Structure 1
Amino acid sequence: MAKEFKIVHESEIDGTPQQVFDAATLGNSGWLWPMEVEPKLGGVGPYGSTVTVWEPPHRFANHLEGEGGFFNTLEYDISELPGGKSWLRYVHSGVFFEDWDNQYDGAAKHTAFYQHTLGQYVKYFAGKQAAFADIQGPAASSSPEAFEAVKAALGIHDSGAGGHVSLTIAGVGTVDAVVDYLDKNFVGLRTEDAMYRFFGRNAFGAVVGMTVHLFAPGADGEAAGTAWGAWLNGIYS
């Protein structure tokens, strides 16, 4: 049975409203995944959605409708704060058709991680596009304890964000990174020219995944995806 949901997330971001607005509408590859938004009211948004609010640099929304009562709406409300900072109120509303509690829990926790990553992008990489890779683990990474294996391979523990890791990835080289996000289900790593996001989607009935966001000029997202994919698969072999 279809049931509506609404997820609200608010956060302070170290960047101007224009930088936040641009990140939400132009810089998606840097913190989420590559998506295009036609920059006007009524324009075409991701997945065939429609831009329903276009008021740069403070408000943006897009809306998608489908069969059986399906809809999905994303809203960004950005306010200016002193010191070149912003306050973002993000609202995601829509419909889940089954396993509502688990889907809502997963979506809410993903939202917190994505919005944190948006803040990291604006603070450290604002205005830059990224070479991007989306990597999914093997079926074995869907087991209940699977994400702990990723943390162990990264050399981190549940002591909170703020630490550092250093590891060598075949085909990539040495990655020296700050742990900018760490909880039971997600890990965020940031270097001088990249962000790496790790998703413990095994907790929500899927496989472990990760995304790569490379900001160095000439970065090869496909090659990085292949290298990190081999690393991720190797954890479970």
Structure 2
Amino acid sequence: MAKEFKIVHESEIEGTPQAVFDAATQGTSGWMWPMGIEPKLGGAGPFGSTVTVWEPPHRFSNRMDGEGGFFNQLDYDISELPDGKSWLRYVHGGVFFEDWDNQYVGASKHTAFYQHTLGEYVKFFAGQQAAFADVQGPGTSSTPEAFDAVKAALGIHDGGAGGHVSVAIAGLGTVDAVVDYLDPNFIGLRTEDAMYRFFGRNAFGAVVGLTIHLFAPGADADAAGAAWGAWLTGLYA
């Protein structure tokens, strides 16, 4: 049975409303995935969605509708704060058709991680396009304890964000990064020219995943994806 949901996330971001608006609409490769949003009212968005509100730099919404009462809507409301900062109120509304409680928990946790990553992007990489790669672990990474292998391989413990890691990736060399996000299901790493986002989706019935956001000129996302993919697969061999 279809049941609506609503997820609200509010955060202070170290960047102007224009920087936040641009990140949400044109810089998505840097913090989520490339969406190709057409920058105008009525413009095309991802997955067949449509831009329903376009009021730069303060408001943006897009929505898609489907059969059986399905809809998915994203709303960004951006306010200016002193000292070049912004306040973002993000609302994700839609419909789940089954397993409502688990889907809601999973979507809420993903929202917190993505919105944190948006803030990191605006603070450190605003206005830059990223070379993007999406890496999925093998089927064996869907077990309840699978994400622990990622934490162990990165040398991460449950002390919270703020630490540093150094990990050798065959074909790429050593990646030295700050841990900018850490909870039981997600890890965020940031370097001077990249962000790496680890998803413990094994907790939600899927496999462990990783997104790579490279900001260095000429960065090869395919090569990075292949190298990190081999590393991730090797954890579950």
**1:171 matched residue in structure 2:** 171
**1:231 matched residue in structure 2:** 231
User: 1:187, 1:38 → 2: CA distance?
Assistant: 31
Alignment of 1:22-101 (within 5 A): 22-101=22-101
User: Is structure 2 residue 159 aligned with structure 1 residue 159?
Assistant: yes
RMSD over equivalenced CA pairs, Å:
0.4
Output the amino acid matched with 1:15: G
User: Is structure 2 residue 147 aligned with structure 1 residue 144?
Assistant: no
User: 1:196, 1:34 → 2: CA distance?
Assistant: 15
Give the Å deviation of 1:118.
0.1
User: Is structure 2 residue 112 aligned with structure 1 residue 107?
Assistant: no
**TM superposition score normalised by structure 2:** 0.99
**TM superposition score normalised by structure 1:** 0.99
Instruction: Note the residue ranges of structure 2 that are not aligned, 5 or more in a row.
Output: none
| Superposed structure 1 runs of 4+ greater than 6 Å apart | none
Output the amino acid matched with 2:213: H
**2:215 matched residue in structure 1:** 215
SS at match of 2:83: helix
User: 1:102, 1:89 → 2: CA distance?
Assistant: 24
User: 2:174, 2:217 → 1: CA distance?
Assistant: 18
Instruction: Note the residue ranges of structure 1 that are not aligned, 5 or more in a row.
Output: none
User: 2:38, 2:150 → 1: CA distance?
Assistant: 37
**1:9 matched residue in structure 2:** 9
Give the Å deviation of 1:48.
1.4
Percentage of identical aligned residues = 83
Deviations 1:131-151 (A, max 9, x none): 000000011100000001100
SS at match of 1:212: strand
User: Is structure 2 residue 171 aligned with structure 1 residue 198?
Assistant: no
Give the Å deviation of 1:92.
0.2
Give the Å deviation of 1:38.
1.0
Deviations 1:135-179 (A, max 9, x none): 000111000000011000000100000000011100111100000
Give the Å deviation of 1:68.
1.2
User: 2:204, 2:48 → 1: CA distance?
Assistant: 26
